[in-house]
Amino acid sequence: MASKKKQVDARASSRLVVDGIKQAPSRAMLRAVGFQDADFAKPQIGIASTWANLTPCNMHIAELAREAVSGADAGGGKGVLFNTITVSDGISMGSPGMRYSLVSREVIADSIETVVGAEGFDGFVAIGGCDKNMPGCAMAMARLNRPSVFVYGGTIRPGGQRRDIVSVFEAVGARAAGKISDEQLQEVERTAIPGPGSCGGMYTANTMASALEALGLSLPGSSAQEAVSDDKRADSRRAGEAVVHLVKEGIRPRDILTRKAFENAISVVIALGGSTNAVLHLLAIANDAQVKLTLDDFTRIGKRVPVLADVRPSGRYLMSELIAIGGIQPLMKMLLEAGLLHGDCLTVTGRTMAQNLANTGMYLAGQEIVRPLSDPLKKDSHLVILYGNVAPEGAVAKITGKEGLSFSGRARVFEGEERATEAILAGTVRAGDVVVIRQEGPKGGPGMREMLSPTGAIMGRGLGDKVALITDGRFSGGSHGFVVGHISPEAAVGGPIGLLRNGDVVTIDAVKRTIHAEISAAELRRRRAAWKPRKPYATAGVLAKYAFLVGSAATGAVTAPRGNS
């Protein structure tokens, strides 16, 4: 006899808020915002929007959120729209405001959890379009474990002469080196950002969108659509409908967020040549999903997965050009057929990854953006986890091979990003230097600022293959060159990066996966004994609260560790 399908109460959460005589006041409040009698008997679907008119990444998301509400209503639910915050990395980059960037990931996850929990939504759609609100949305999905779908806001279209935001950062360095004029810099500034959407290369936003699709949290194709497109509006509507289906079927995020799903996400990030931030964010999402994931998993998977996509910042092509040849679905099918993806992982369609990809075609012959597995750009991962006396808990390097596979040079130490950027632009950083930027870790920053300003200046001055940069902070997905971030333990807690001095010889070896300073153990002990913590950057407010709660970058810089402990 066939087993009976499990009975699912599609209104298990909202029933506690709106059913019965006792909840008449709740219904009265909801009538004022548009509920009709019939709506109280429907699954209630929250639509978490990250709309804000302060950044092109999110300026269009209000329209997508309304489409998701329409989809939820059409699917038999009752869509209810609410907002959470976003901040702009591109605007705050290189300034004190960038300290709030990673903090915003926690605020977003907390706020979505708060609203969904308080309002008794049976399921929800989360729509994100910038670096931190995407993992923030996914963390909330994992924590709440209520049926939910993530929608990516979509990528920006190319600026003039195929420019993007990184073109502007690198033009600043070129101006400092005298390679371009003030007028040329202004022309780049005026033409790089043509309208809505996330930064146009395989930077953190597009990397995380691809990772979340590979995790199974978004509908097929969601990660590879332009922000201003019919496809993106349709994706948002379908997400609303899909959540109602998930509610009725009882499919929850932790049914999807298995260890195999995280391995799929890591494989796709590597194949795309994605951002180092994916390491930090996937560790954080796994923490909330109560899945054990460590830095060493990136090394293990990276030994067998090659880099295939020739995309910026290290490559030639923009996300919109990858979309034009079919997006990431054909790449995922290549990986699946090669045994590099787990096809049995459940997704928000209610089907498995293999079922979703069954009818996906392959890339047309002649395209040069995604290489075949037989001829990769790099035979193993560009995300290299390093250990050594500089980073006993680990560090994350982005080594594509174009920079070389090792670097040894004299440490030039800076306390914070601003001093380093000034020195690079002034020409005092020279070939052979290892630029050390510290006091930028999760606690010390606080908030792990991204080092796009100094790396952009390095590239603009033509030093990309002549210097290395290491930090206890992190990097924008737009950074490239010989860069190592997430160095743990960080300087603020007495980590060895805080003990380095000018002139110390530091060697980075991507083959051996080591980062080592030529300092004896006895000398390190002497320096550690003399070390004193610096005064905190903030003693009140959200930055101080974050610094007090946050853990190591090696475990995702989370403020509420669980699951990985």
Active site residues: 476
Question: Tokens representing 107?
Answer: 């605020």
Q: Tokens at residue 427, please?
A: 């020409």
Of 54, 222, 216, residue with least CA distance to 152: 222
How many Å apart are CA 400 and CA 380, to the nearest integer?
Answer: 9
Residue type (1 letter), 494? G
| Nearest-angstrom CA–CA distance, 556 and 8 | 34
How far is it, in rounded angstroms, from Cα 251 to Cα 295? 29
The amino acid occupying position 89 is: D
Question: How far apart are alpha carbons 110 and 117 in whole angstroms?
Answer: 10
Torsion of CA 353, 355, 357, 360, to 10 degrees: -170
- Residues 324/325/329/332 CA torsion (nearest 10 deg): -140
DSSP assignment of 224-243, as one string? Answer: SSBSSSHHHHHHHHHHHHHH
Residue 499 DSSP code: G
Three-class SS of 46-114? EEEECCCCCCCCCCCHHHHHHHHHHHHHHCCCEEEEEECCCCCHHHHCCCHHHHHHHHHHHHHHHHHHH
Q: 486 with 396: CB under 8 angstroms?
A: yes
Rounded Cα gap, residues 560 and 258, in angstroms: 20
3-state class (DSSP) for residue 319 = helix
Q: Letter for the amino acid at 248?
A: K
**Using CA atoms, how far apart are residues 249 and 520, in angstroms rounded to an integer?**
60
CA distance 14 to 117: 10
DSSP at 334: H
Is residue 136 within 8 A of residue 285, CB to CB? The reply is no
Cα separation, 74 vs 455, in Å, equals: 48
C-alpha 411/C-alpha 500 separation (Å) is 8
